[in-house]
């Protein structure tokens, strides 16, 4: 990109989302994560946000109303709960937001850059979802008067949980050279360590899991990485790719001066380059506008309007800095970007993370199944039933095909879902759980059928004695005038062999069932039937031991 003609981004916003799997200690498995994060210490860095939609009408603003009215009623209940007038309060929402306020700015150094870029950290939030072990770290940054190249570099390099490789100079590939979190006084709270190649190599070699960059690990404290030697009541591990999904808002002086190549770079989150050269082949981006662009409020003539670009990895809102409605922080496009469109983008990513997590746990349950071990089978059944219950609650509480009837919100949500392919993933997880449930049902039916066969055999054997001793109501011994001691002796004399016979019949019920089946088969010769009878009396063979290697 020509530095002299590089457009200036008058106002820049970036919202990073990082879905994570949450793993609690066994003793804390029933506690909500927001309780564990806020009860640990009086000086805990995380606080539950309880004033997004304040109950006081004087504090409730028009942007709150606009955000609420965007969504369909069942989505409103998910996001905001029921009204306080009904006596249940906002706490009915299954989503909790925690926030830390100690990080005020981010200082970012890019490769080949003369000076670092300093951005304001607007929010550092943690979204937790009831009954689903997924949390989403949300970091919102803001800046002013940035060259478009720096904005592209920020989108491309900042949201990296760990490097994929290292350059010849030893820097993390595709990452910022240095990222620093600063407090309000400018003191450094945490610094990135992408350049520590040995740390990442050793971690993967030891744990078969990636290490997390130091500055991202800092933001999540007191949560600790699952694959580490650190102690913590709450642990986490990444669910998806190392690049974090993101939203971006760019207001420039001359939006029509930005080339198609730059829009492709913004939407597909690639490195800066020449405005006249596409980052990919023309064939690869031939359907870019149809698949990823919403231009309902964009016109090639004039400098107003807004363009929305969504690829699943990123949602970009682009417009003119001189457009008053586009830059309005309360009721304009900027307000919509930070609230409605953030939620439209976050929910599909939550869907994907939750479905990937459930699919992974199904695989783990099957991997730990040993059909020859009765305890392993019992644990497998319990896990599958728990996963089925979790999936059922997820489907009815969180899964939506539509979030809004507003045309643009509907289109943006559709583009996100199609790019993330969550419909296919949902169908796959549902089918996997159904397959597991059918296996459990068939196994239960098999066990019930075996029990019926055993009871039938016992009944048949007992029927012989019942008919013999009870024929015409006769009693073999007339003991009605005998003493109580004699009656007890007679009772024990009958009870012990009858019990022994019943236990033996149950123990040999499988073989007796085979004998009865052979006896009832008219096609078998007498010799084969006698062989089946002899098999009933043979001693069972001891189970064979596996051969030693």
Task: Please give, one letter per residue, the 3-state secondary structure of 416-434.
Answer: HHHHHCHHHHHHHHHHHHH
Answer whether residue 201 is part of any domain: no
Same domain as 382, residue 456: no
pLDDT score at 87: 40
pLDDT score at 521: 66
**CB neighbours of 419 closer than 8 A, spacing ≥ 6?**
291, 292, 310, 311, 312, 313
**CB neighbours of 456 closer than 8 A, spacing ≥ 6?**
513
pLDDT score at 528: 81
User: What count of residues does the chain have?
Assistant: 549
Same domain as 456, residue 432: no
pLDDT score at 546: 46
pLDDT score at 58: 66
pLDDT at 526 over 70: yes
Share of the chain above pLDDT 70, in %: 82
DSSP conformation class of 541 = P
Closest CA to 182 of 105, 100, 101: 105
Same domain as 457, residue 443: no
Provide the domain limits for residue 88.
50-97
Closest CA to 437 of 473, 475, 392: 392
Q: How many CB atoms lie within 10 A of CB 330?
A: 10
Where among 411, 429, 451 does a domain terminate?
451
Answer whether residue 488 is part of any domain: yes
**Phi, psi at residue 95, to the nearest 5°?**
-105, 130
pLDDT at 413 over 50: yes
Answer whether residue 27 is part of any domain: no
Where among 435, 451, 467 does a domain terminate?
451
What are the pLDDT digits (tens) for 215-232? 999 999 889 999 888 888
**Phi, psi at residue 146, to the nearest 5°?**
-100, 140
| Residues 106, 228: Cα–Cα separation, whole Å | 26
Closest CA to 220 of 200, 238, 207, 205: 238
Share of the chain above pLDDT 90, in %: 47
pLDDT score at 178: 95
Same domain as 514, residue 423: no
Least confident of 41-50, 391-400, 442-451: 442-451
Answer whether residue 202 is part of any domain: no
Task: Find the mean pLDDT for residues 11-33.
Answer: 82
Where among 97, 113, 135 does a domain terminate?
97
Answer whether residue 178 is part of any domain: no
Q: Which residue's structure tokens are 């030693």?
A: 548
pLDDT score at 278: 92
Q: Which residue's structure tokens are 């210490």?
A: 41
**CB neighbours of 154 closer than 8 A, spacing ≥ 6?**
12, 14, 108, 117, 119, 141, 146
Between 368 and 81, residue with greater pLDDT: 368
Between 65 and 541, residue with greater pLDDT: 65
pLDDT score at 342: 95
Same domain as 369, residue 444: yes
pLDDT score at 493: 76
- Two tokens at 387? 């996963």
Number of domains in the chain: 3
Q: How confident is the model at residue 88 (pLDDT cuts 50, 70, 90)?
A: very low
Give me the residues paired with residue 143 across strands.
12
Same domain as 463, residue 434: no
Same domain as 414, residue 427: yes
Same domain as 433, residue 343: yes
Q: How confident is the model at residue 543 (pLDDT cuts 50, 70, 90)?
A: low
Closest CA to 245 of 182, 302, 161, 174: 161
- Maximum Cα–Cα distance for the chain, whole Å? 122
**3-state secondary structure (DSSP) of residue 7:** coil
pLDDT at 536 over 90: no
When the pLDDT of each residue in the chain is averaged and rounded to a whole number, the result is 84
- Asked whether the beta carbons of 292 and 286 are under 8 A apart, the reply is no
Strands 134-147 vs 95-100: parallel, antiparallel or unpaired: unpaired
Answer whether residue 179 is part of any domain: no
Task: Find the mean pLDDT for residues 141-158.
Answer: 94
Same domain as 350, residue 417: yes
pLDDT score at 468: 56
- Asked whether the beta carbons of 180 and 192 are under 8 A apart, the reply is yes
pLDDT score at 450: 66
Same domain as 456, residue 435: no
pLDDT at 516 over 80: no
pLDDT at 89 over 50: no
**Phi, psi at residue 97, to the nearest 5°?**
-115, 125
Between 174 and 506, residue with greater pLDDT: 174
Answer whether residue 429 is part of any domain: yes
Q: How confident is the model at residue 268 (pLDDT cuts 50, 70, 90)?
A: very high
Same domain as 443, residue 343: yes
What are the pLDDT digits (tens) for 430-467? 998 888 878 777 777 776 676 676 667 667 666 666 65
Q: Which residue's structure tokens are 């309000």?
A: 184
What are the pLDDT digits (tens) for 291-314? 999 999 887 766 678 999 998 899
**Phi, psi at residue 322, to the nearest 5°?**
-85, -5
Give me the residues paired with residue 293 across strands.
309
Same domain as 369, residue 392: yes
Answer whether residue 182 is part of any domain: no
- Asked whether the beta carbons of 422 and 352 are under 8 A apart, the reply is yes
pLDDT score at 439: 77
Closest CA to 74 of 90, 55, 93: 93
| Residues 11, 252: Cα–Cα separation, whole Å | 7
- Two tokens at 430? 């549902």
Least confident of 371-380, 414-423, 457-466, 479-488: 457-466
pLDDT score at 540: 66
């Amino acid at each position: 990109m020509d530095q002299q003609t590089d457009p200036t981004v008058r106002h820049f916003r970036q919202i990073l989302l990082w879905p994570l799997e949450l793993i609690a200690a066994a003793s804390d498995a029933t506690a909500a994560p927001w309780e564990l994060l806020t009860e640990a210490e009086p000086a805990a860095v995380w606080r539950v946000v309880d004033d997004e939609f304040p109950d006081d009408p004087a504090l409730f603003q028009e942007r709150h109303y606009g955000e609420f009215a965007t969504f369909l009623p069942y989505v409103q209940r998910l996001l905001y709960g029921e009204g306080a007038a009904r006596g249940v309060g906002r706490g009915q929402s299954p989503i909790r937001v925690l926030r830390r306020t100690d990080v005020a700015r981010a200082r970012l150094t890019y490769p080949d850059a003369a000076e670092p870029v300093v951005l304001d950290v607007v929010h550092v939030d943690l979204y937790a979802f009831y009954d689903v072990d997924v949390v989403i770290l949300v970091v919102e940054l803001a800046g002013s008067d940035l060259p478009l190249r720096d904005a592209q570099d920020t989108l491309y390099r900042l949201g990296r949980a760990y490097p994929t490789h290292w350059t010849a100079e030893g820097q993390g590939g595709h990452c910022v050279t240095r990222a620093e979190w600063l407090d309000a006084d400018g003191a450094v709270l945490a610094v990135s360590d992408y350049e520590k190649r040995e740390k990442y190599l050793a971690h993967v070699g030891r744990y078969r899991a990636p290490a997390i960059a130091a500055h991202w690990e800092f933001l999540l404290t007191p949560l600790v990485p699952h694959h580490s030697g650190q102690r913590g009541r709450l642990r986490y591990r990444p669910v998806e790719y190392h690049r974090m999904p993101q939203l971006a808002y760019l207001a420039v002086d001359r939006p029509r001066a930005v080339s198609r190549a730059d829009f492709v770079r913004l939407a597909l989150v690639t490195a800066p380059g020449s405005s006249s050269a596409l980052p990919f082949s023309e064939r690869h981006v031939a359907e870019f506008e149809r698949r990823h662009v919403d231009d309902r409020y964009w016109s090639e003539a004039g400098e107003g309007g807004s363009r929305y670009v969504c690829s699943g990895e990123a949602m970009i809102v682009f417009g003119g800095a001189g457009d008053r409605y586009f830059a309005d922080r309360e009721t304009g496009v900027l307000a919509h970007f930070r609230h409605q469109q953030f939620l439209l983008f976050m929910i599909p990513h939550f869907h994907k993370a939750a479905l990937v997590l459930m699919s992974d746990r199904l695989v783990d349950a099957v991997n730990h199944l040993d059909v020859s071990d009765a305890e392993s089978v019992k644990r497998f059944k319990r896990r599958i039933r728990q996963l089925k219950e979790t999936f059922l609650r997820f489907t009815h509480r969180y899964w939506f095909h539509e979030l809004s009837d507003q045309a643009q919100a509907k289109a943006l949500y559709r583009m996100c879902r199609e790019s993330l392919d969550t419909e296919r993933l949902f169908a796959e997880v549902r089918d996997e759980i159904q397959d597991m449930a059918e296996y459990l049902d068939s196994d239960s039916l098999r066990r019930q059928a075996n029990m019926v066969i055993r009871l039938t055999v016992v009944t048949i054997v007992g029927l012989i004695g019942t008919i013999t001793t009870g024929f015409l109501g006769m009693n073999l011994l007339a003991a009605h005038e005998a003493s109580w001691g004699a009656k007890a002796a007679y009772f024990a004399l009958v009870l012990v062999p009858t019990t022994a016979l019943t236990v033996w019949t149950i123990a040999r019920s499988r073989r007796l069932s085979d004998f009865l089946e052979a006896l009832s088969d008219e096609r078998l010769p007498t010799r084969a039937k006698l062989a089946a009878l002899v098999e009933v009396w043979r001693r069972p063979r001891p189970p064979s031991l596996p051969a030693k290697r």
